[in-house]
């Protein structure tokens, strides 16, 4: 049986990130959210703390820690602010992840150190305006001509890809048609400075308002043939494999957000007096808080076990999908109770309850909707 006691190193990391989030993020999280502002200052400080490249080898500038340590980082950030957690999670799972797992030694030496320690961010170019859940249906294409890939198409909802720290993107593109008529899909590395690559920040978001989200346009973007990531034709599998790990981080955002919303709900319920008593002492409210605490414990056990499987080098895709869907939905229930327990104040943006409620919704959709997670799990159960 796995041992879920955190090691002294993991405890130190957890306390360090918690302290940072309380002192540096909490005082500004609502204002950043209101202004829909990506914080270069906080992102820079999170780099200084070593929160990018957590599992990446020190050879490439990373911390070389296990996956559970990374998940604890995301959980602690999300406890205070899903937006800063999103910047770190997308940076590690989707930016660094594919380059680290599928890149050649030369590619890793070139691209990873800036992303781990030199305050640069990298995008994961999968989703397109007409290809979200059906990720294999993307239209962006890359043609190999005279030793260069020429990329045309567009991507949408790409985290970390339209700000001054954005250094490039891993693009899923159709590179040929196979003998059986199916698309050959490959991943190609494109630097942000490439001619013909335009990034546009997406505004007016309901959720994750102070994280950076981009639309990307590729207009004859030309990169060397050597920018192919891994094997030609492996692109779709690389993306799906990246998402398996990334989903653990989204689950950590659900868990951390639920924990933060629960703490706000408990504190408020103990302070708020109605009918001469703290509202936490009314059984109907106490039971809401009990359900939240119980579900958070269950979510943590599920997620930490999935990380343990990954850290053991064992199969974890099913458990990652289960963790993502469950932790997201626990956060939904906890955030909902949090708003309800705050009454009218829960509807006001001066209190963090509203932000938890809005930020939760992304987790049902990003990195594979809850429906897609259920589809993945159903396949493992041989339902179809």
Residues near ligand CAA, by CB under 6 A: 90, 94, 124, 126-127, 133, 135-136, 157-159, 236-237, 240-241, 243-244, 317, 366-368, 372, 375-376
Beta bridge partners of residue 198, listed in sequence order: 217
Report, in Å, the least distance between residue 49 CB and ligand CAA. 22
Cβ at position 71, least distance to ligand CAA in Å: 17
Per-residue HEC secondary structure of the chain comes to CCCCCCCHHHHHHHHHHHHHHHHHHCCCHHHHHHHCCCCHHHHHHHHHCCCCCCCCCHHHCCCCCCHHHHHHHHHHHHHHCHHHHHHHHHHHHHHHHHHHHHCCHHHHHHHHHHHHHCCCEEEEECCECCECCCHHHCCCEEEEECCEEEEEEEEEEEECCCCCCEEEEEEEEEEEECCCCCEEEEEEEEECCCCCEEEEECCCCCCCCCCCEEEEEEEEEEEEHHHEECCCCCHHHHHHHHHHHHHHHHHHHHHHHHHHHHHHHHHHHHHCEECCEEHHHCHHHHHHHHHHHHHHHHHHHHHHHHHHHHHCCCCCHHHHHHHHHHHHHHHHHHHHHHHHHHHHHHHCCCCHHHHHHHHHHHHCCCCCCHHHHHHHHHHHCCCC
Nearest CB to ligand CAA, comparing residues 279 and 321: 321
Q: Cβ 131 to ligand CAA, closest distance in Å?
A: 9
Q: Which is nearer to ligand CAA, 152 or 241 (CB)?
A: 241
- Catalytic residue flag (residue 75): no
Among candidate residues 75, 295, 367, 371, the one labeled active-site is: 367
Closest residue to bound ligand CAA by CB: 368
The CB-of-240 to ligand CAA minimum distance in angstroms stands at: 4
Which is closer to ligand CAA, CB of 237 or CB of 361? 237
| Number of C-beta neighbours around residue 241 at 10 A | 16
Smaller CB separation from ligand CAA, 35 or 379: 379
**Which has the closest alpha carbon to 28: 91, 83, 87, 92?**
83
Closest contact distance (angstroms) between CB of 68 and ligand CAA is 20
| Smallest separation, CB 214 to ligand CAA (Å) | 9
Nearer to ligand CAA, 213 or 285 (CB): 213
Comparison of 237 and 333: residue with beta carbon closer to ligand CAA = 237
Catalytic residues: 367
């Amino acid at each position: 049986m796995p041992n879920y006691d955190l090691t002294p190193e993991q405890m130190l990391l957890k306390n360090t990130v918690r302290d940072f989030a309380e002192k540096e993020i909490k005082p500004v999280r609502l204002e950043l959210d209101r202004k829909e502002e990506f914080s270069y200052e906080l992102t820079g400080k999170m780099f200084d703390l070593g929160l990018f490249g957590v599992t990446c080898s020190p050879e490439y500038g990373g911390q070389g820690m296990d996956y559970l340590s990374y998940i604890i980082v995301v959980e602690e950030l999300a406890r205070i602010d899903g937006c800063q957690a999103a910047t770190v999670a997308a940076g590690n799972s989707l930016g660094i992840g594919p380059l680290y797992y599928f890149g050649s030694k030369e590619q890793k030496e070139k691209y990873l150190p800036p992303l781990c320690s030199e305050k640069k961010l990298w995008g994961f170019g999968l989703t397109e305006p007409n290809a979200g859940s059906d990720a294999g249906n993307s239209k962006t294409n890359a043609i190999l001509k005279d030793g260069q890939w020429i990329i045309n198409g567009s991507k949408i909802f790409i985290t970390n890809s339209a700000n001054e720290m954005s250094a490039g993107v891993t693009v899923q593109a159709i590179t040929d048609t196979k003998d059986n008529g199916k698309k050959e899909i490959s991943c190609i590395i494109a630097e942000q400075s490439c001619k013909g690559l335009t990034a546009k920040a997406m505004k007016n978001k309901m959720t994750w308002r102070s994280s950076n989200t981009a639309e990307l346009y590729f207009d004859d973007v030309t990169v060397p043939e050597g920018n192919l990531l891994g094997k030609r034709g492996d692109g779709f599998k690389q993306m799906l494999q990246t998402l398996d790990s990334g989903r653990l981080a989204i689950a950590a955002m659900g868990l951390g957000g639920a924990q933060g919303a629960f703490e706000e709900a408990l504190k408020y319920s103990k302070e708020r007096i109605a009918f001469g008593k703290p509202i936490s002492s009314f059984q109907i409210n106490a039971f809401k808080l009990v359900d939240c605490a119980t579900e958070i414990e269950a979510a943590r056990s599920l997620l930490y076990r999935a990380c343990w499987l990954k850290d053991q080098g064992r199969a974890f895709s099913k458990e990652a999908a289960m963790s993502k869907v469950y932790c997201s939905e626990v956060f939904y229930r906890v955030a909902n109770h949090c708003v309800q327990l705050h009454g009218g104040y829960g509807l006001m943006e001066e209190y963090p309850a509203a932000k938890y409620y809005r930020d939760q919704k992304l987790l049902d959709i990003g990195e594979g909707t809850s429906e897609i997670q259920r589809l993945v799990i159903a396949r493992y159960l041989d339902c179809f």
